[in-house]
Amino acid sequence: VREYLRQSKSFSIKELEQALADCLETDLDIKSGRIAEDLAVELLLVKYSSPLFPKIYLKKKKRHESNFPLRKH
């Protein structure tokens, strides 16, 4: 737990809120079949390990926008 607390200090409250929202949205996308589970987790890891994360990803999304595009059938 100490390590997680130390790491969390590297992020602002807004960034942590966005990460939590992205995790929830990813979970819903997986459960609804919009994206494969492995790919969804990998995309989250890439997103949050990028040094450009705050500049690129904290733009406000529209409510209906997903983290991932619809999967083509």
Asked whether the beta carbons of 55 and 12 are under 8 A apart, the reply is no
pLDDT digits over 21-72, tens only?
Answer: 999 999 999 999 999 999 999 999 888 887 766 666 665 555 555 555 555 4
Distance CA 68, CA 29 (A): 8
Given this model, what pLDDT does residue 35 score? 94
Asked whether the beta carbons of 47 and 57 are under 8 A apart, the reply is yes
**Helix or strand or coil: residue 66?**
coil
Nearest to 67 by CA among 10, 11, 18: 18
